[in-house]
Amino acid sequence: MIFNSSMRNVAACVRKRHHVSLTRRHSSILSPAVNHLNAIRTVLWSHNLKIGQRGIDTRRRSITELFPTCVLHHYAFSTGFTSVHGERPSAQYARLRKESLEIEFGQALGAQSSRSFSAYYRFGPFLALYRAAIISFQVVKLSIWHLFLQDIESRAVKFRETLIRLGPFYVKLGQALSTRPDILPSVYCHELAKLQDQIPPYPTDIAMKSIESQLGVPVSQIFADISPEPIAAASLGQVYKAHLHSGELVAVKVQRPGMSLSLTLDALLFNMIGGQLRRFAKARKDLMVAVNEMVRHMFEEIDYILEGHNAERFASLYGCYTGSEQGSQERRSTAVKLGKKENCVKVPKIYWNLTRKAVLTMEWIDGIKLTDADRLKKALLNRKELIDQGLYCSLRQLLEVGFFHADPHPGNLVATDDGSLAYFDFGMMGEIPRHYRVGLIQVLVHFVNRDSLGLANDFLSLGFLPDGVDIQSVSNALQASFGDGTRQSQDFQGIMNQLYDVMYEFNFSLPPDYALVIRALGSLEGTAKALDPEFKVVESSYPFVVARLLADPHPDMRKILGELLIRNDGSIRWNRLERLVGHPFLPFFCF
């Protein structure tokens, strides 16, 4: 029955020509697909367009007017967070932000678009039917398992296995959903966290043809030599090591052929089976809205020009040798006074003349994997200093600047011979404005204090909780999740395990980039644990958080500092004050 229903949906798309119902604001999601697939032009030019949800008829518009190519390139962050406010957000503002996000992205690849923007026009009936049949078959199998498996853990395992069989789009979708406890039950989040972005490399001769097609010249004219096999491979692309004719050593990232076509087709067909997956996983009703945002991030990841710009921006903010020369000199002077090395990271230089949408050429940086304990020991690199560097850089990203690397796992960082950290892979980035960073600090402080009521009010003011929720009930649930309160610092996964069930029970709604924050903190702690198994991100972040509170004269920050160091009865938390004053890195953090 389910299979027949899915196939009827596909057949309906093939038989019936629908008008394209797109608004100008949808272009930030659809423009990457449009840029990759010229077939959409035929659709737009041969049909009348209806712009807006009310179906207002309008004259034909050019493809460049409807889908400006610069829309996505100029933004490496979620427009759901764009704001002119400098204060902490009110609950009303947070709700408006969420509604804006749903309007802007929720329909472009949602259930409505599967009718109005059919897979038939984009890919032809046979390709769409073939892929839809594969997806429908897997969903039928999953639904049958649903009838026989009553244990939620077993269902979660089958859900993960189904996503693996469905391919790269669904694997990356599952990875993103693993950090969304507001959408999926905690059991599913834990199971999806096991998904690995690993896939065998495709043939090198195909990669070489792709390079020549993108750059317009033979590979031999570009590189003096290039590795015969990729040095790294993932679901979206693979990397080669090469020498330019100038002698410079570079890394060449080549996108997997047909990736944008595959992602776009799967994204459109997902609407036909999204309801079945949502019911099987007991997902919240806003699953499709969240998936739309995840799809947008996937298209950002396959835009290598955007990734290059992200890398340069990251280098200007946190890199050792780029950005403001005055700022770099100030950092060096402060580090010398403290008798420490400059606390910054290395970012590979981008070779723009050899970079296109599907080929990215960047500086090769030699380094040691953080999981290679033997090589780190032989190189006499101090693990504690490496952890401090990574922690300092990550906390600056999340709490001070706002532009952050969303996936700092061990594969995206290496230690160089001089003891610095080098970052790679800038396809997945996030950005949060100042008032949300203040809110994040407030959440951390209230969690450290085990102030469940304060934490519940934080979630309400940030717009995480729905209207009409009983704050006292949320507070009681949070208090119960804290346990006996004797363990004041835990690893990040332990904290999330405490909060997952509460977030799902009370229908939390996480903004897209806050989900990326969860992913970034989880990746950061996992990377640090490769160097120190006892590392705990919340405990280790304490000096930096306090330093930010001390350095910022804003009344909100001073209020948070008071809550951290002074109890409700007015007495001073002497243990925290002593720990703060005695921390050896505090002067450096304060800078």
Extract the tokens encoding 292: 């739309």
Q: How many helices (H) and strands (E) does the chain have?
A: 29, 14
* pLDDT tens, position by position, 83-113: 333 344 455 544 544 444 444 333 333 333 4
3-class secondary structure per residue, 100-142: HHHHHHCCCCCCCHHHHCCHHHHHCHHHHHHHHHHHHHHHHHH
Question: Is pLDDT at 586 greater than 60 in this prediction?
Answer: no
214-249: buried (b, 16+ CB within 10 Å) or exposed (e) per residue?
Answer: bbeeebeebbeebeeebeebbbbbbbbbbeeeeeee
Confidence of residue 342 (pLDDT cuts 50, 70, 90): low
Of 67, 88, 117, which one is at a domain's C-terminal end?
Answer: 117
Residue 590 resides in a domain: yes
Query: What is the count of structural domains for the chain?
Result: 2
Question: Is pLDDT at 224 greater than 60 in this prediction?
Answer: yes
From CA 92, how far away is CA 574, in angstroms rounded? Answer: 38
**Amino acid of residue 9:** N
Rounded mean pLDDT, 106-132? 54
Q: At what angle do helices 168-177 and 259-280 cross, to 10 degrees?
A: 50
Per the residue annotation, which of 303, 388, 407, 425 is the catalytic one?
407
Contacts of 455 (CB under 8 A, 6+ apart): 443, 446, 447, 475, 478
Of 75, 94, 117, which one is at a domain's C-terminal end?
Answer: 117
Residue 54 resides in a domain: yes
Q: Which residue has the higher pLDDT, 131 or 347?
A: 347
Residue 363 resides in a domain: no
Residue 253 resides in a domain: no
Residue 414 resides in a domain: yes
564-589: buried (b, 16+ CB within 10 Å) or exposed (e) per residue?
Answer: bbeeeeeeebeebeeebeebebbebb
Closest CA to 143 of 290, 273, 296: 273
Closest CA to 197 of 513, 425, 466: 425
Cite the beta strand spans of 149-281 per DSSP E: 223-226, 232-233, 237-244, 249-255
Residue 138 resides in a domain: no
Contacts of 70 (CB under 8 A, 6+ apart): none
pLDDT value, residue 89: 46
Residue 250 resides in a domain: no
pLDDT value, residue 267: 84
* pLDDT tens, position by position, 138-182: 888 888 887 888 888 899 999 899 988 888 888 888 888 888 887
Residue 185 resides in a domain: no
pLDDT value, residue 560: 82
pLDDT value, residue 329: 47
Active-site annotation holds for 451: no
Of 117, 143, 176, which one is at a domain's C-terminal end?
Answer: 117
Closest CA to 128 of 283, 261, 318, 304: 261
* pLDDT tens, position by position, 394-436: 999 999 999 999 989 888 999 998 899 999 999 999 998 888 8
From CA 247, how far away is CA 356, in angstroms rounded? Answer: 21
Question: Is pLDDT at 574 greater than 60 in this prediction?
Answer: yes
Closest CA to 503 of 435, 443, 442: 443
What 3-state DSSP class applies to 429? strand
Separation of CA 478 from chain center:
26
Contacts of 539 (CB under 8 A, 6+ apart): 489
Q: Print the domain residue range for 69.
A: 17-117
